[in-house]
A and B are shown apart, each in its own frame.
Chain A
Amino acid sequence: MVNNRTDLELITSLVDKEARILDVGCGNGELLKSLKNKKNVKGQGLELKQERVNKCVAKGLSAIQGNADSDLSLYPDQSFDCVILSQTIQATNNPKNILIELIRIGKKAIISIPNFGYWKVRLGFATHGKMPITEKLSNNWYDTPNIHLCSILDFVDLCRELNIKIEKTIVLNSNNTKSFNGAPNSWSNFFGEEAIFLIKN
Chain B
Amino acid sequence: MNSDQNKLPCSYFTDNKPLLLENGTSIDELTVAYESYGKLNKDKSNAIIICHALSGDQFVASKNPLTDKDGWWARMVGSGKPIDTDKYFVICANVLGGCLGSTGPTSINPKTGEEYGLNFPVITISDMVNAQLRLIQYLEIEKLLSVIGGSMGGMQVLEWAASYPDKILSAIPIATSSRHTAQNIAFHELGRQAIMADPDWHGGNYIKAGSNPTKGLSIARMTAHVTYLSEASLTKKFGRRLQDKEEISFGFDADFQIESYLRHQGLTFVDRFDANSYLYITRAMDYFDLEKTHKKSLTEIYSKTNIKFLITSFTGDWLYPPSENLMIVRALSAGGADVSFVNINSDKGHDAFLLEEPEFDDAMRGFINSVSLEANI
Q: Report A's interface with B, CB cutoff 8 A.
A: 42, 44, 50, 53-54, 56-65, 71, 74-76, 79
Instruction: Using A58-B362, A76-B336 as known contacts, say yes or no to A53 and B373 having CB atoms under 8 A apart.
Output: no
Does the CB pair A74–B330 fall under 8 Å?
yes
A64 touches B329 (CB 8 A): yes
CB neighbours of A59 from chain B (8 A): 366
- On whether the beta carbons of A60 and B369 are closer than 8 Å, the reply is yes
Q: List 14 interface pairs A-B (beta carbons < 8 Å), by A numbering.
A: A50-B342, A50-B345, A53-B340, A53-B342, A53-B343, A54-B359, A54-B362, A58-B362, A60-B366, A60-B373, A61-B366, A62-B308, A71-B333, A76-B336
Q: Which residues of B contact A79 (CB under 8 A)?
A: 336
Query: Is the beta-carbon distance between B333 and A74 smaller than 8 angstroms?
Result: yes
- Point out the residue from B339, B363, B369 that lies within 8 Å of A54, measured CB to CB: B363
If A50-B343, A63-B340, A65-B341 touch, does A58 touch B329 (CB 8 Å cutoff)? no
Contact partners of B369 in chain A: CB under 8 A:
60
Provide the residues of chain B in CB contact with A58, threshold 8 Å: 359, 362-363, 365-366
Q: Tell me whether A42 and B341 are in contact (CB under 8 A).
A: no
One of A64, A71, A76 near B339 (C-beta < 8 A) = A64
User: A181 CB to closest chain B CB, in angstroms?
Assistant: 31
B310 on the interface (CB 8 Å rule)? yes
B175 shortest CB reach to chain A, Å: 15
Which listed residue, A54, A60, A61, A64, touches B333 by the CB 8 Å rule? A64
Please tell me if the beta carbons of B310 and A57 are within 8 angstroms of each other in the complex.
yes
**Minimum CB distance partner of A36 in chain B:** B370
Q: List the B side residues contacting A61 at CB < 8 Å.
A: 340, 366, 370
A42, A57, A76, most chain B CB atoms within 10 A: A57
Docked complex Cα distance between A138 and B82 (Å) = 40
Contacts of B373 in A (CB 8 A): 60
Contact at A74–B370, with CB atoms within 8 Å? no
Given known A54-B363, A59-B366, A74-B330, contact A65–B338 (CB-CB < 8 A): no
Which A-chain residue is minimally distant from B336 (CB atoms)?
Answer: A79
When C-beta atoms are compared, the residue in chain B nearest to A80 turns out to be: B336
- Determine if A54 and B336 form an interchain contact, defined as CB atoms under 8 angstroms apart: no
0/1 per residue, B350-376, Cβ < 8 Å to A? 000000000100110111011001000
CB distance from B183 to the nearest CB of A (A): 24
CA A58 to CA B369, docked complex, whole Å: 9
Is B344 in the interface zone, CB < 8 Å from A? yes
Which of A44, A54, A74 has a CB less than 8 Å from the CB of B338? A44
A70, B266: Cα distance in complex, Å: 46
CA distance A74 to B367 in the complex (A): 23
Closest A residue by C-beta to B330: A74
| Shortest Cβ distance from residue B371 to the other chain A in the assembled complex, whole angstroms | 8
| Complex CA–CA separation, A58 to B342 (angstroms) | 10
Mark contacts of B122-143 with chain A using CB atoms, 8 A cut-off: 1 yes-contact digit, 0 otherwise: 0000000000000000000000
B334 contacts the other chain (CB 8 A):
yes
Contacts of A42 in B (CB 8 A): 338
In the assembled complex, the CB of A1 is this many whole angstroms from the nearest CB of chain B, namely 31
B311 CB to nearest chain A CB (Å): 8
B341 touches A53 (CB 8 A): yes
For the complex of A and B, 3 pairs with smallest distance between CB atoms: A60-B370, A58-B366, A58-B362
The CA-CA distance from A74 to B328 in the complex, in Å, is: 12
Known: A50-B343, A64-B329. 4 other contacts (CB 8 A): A58-B363, A60-B367, A60-B370, A61-B340
Q: Please tell me if the beta carbons of A64 and B366 are within 8 angstroms of each other in the complex.
A: no
Which chain B residues numbered 175 to 211 have a C-beta less than 8 Å away from chain A? Answer: none
Q: Contact between A62 and B333 (Cβ–Cβ < 8 Å)?
A: no
CB distance from A72 to the nearest CB of B (A): 10
Which residues on A sit within 8 Å (CB–CB) of B343?
50, 53, 65
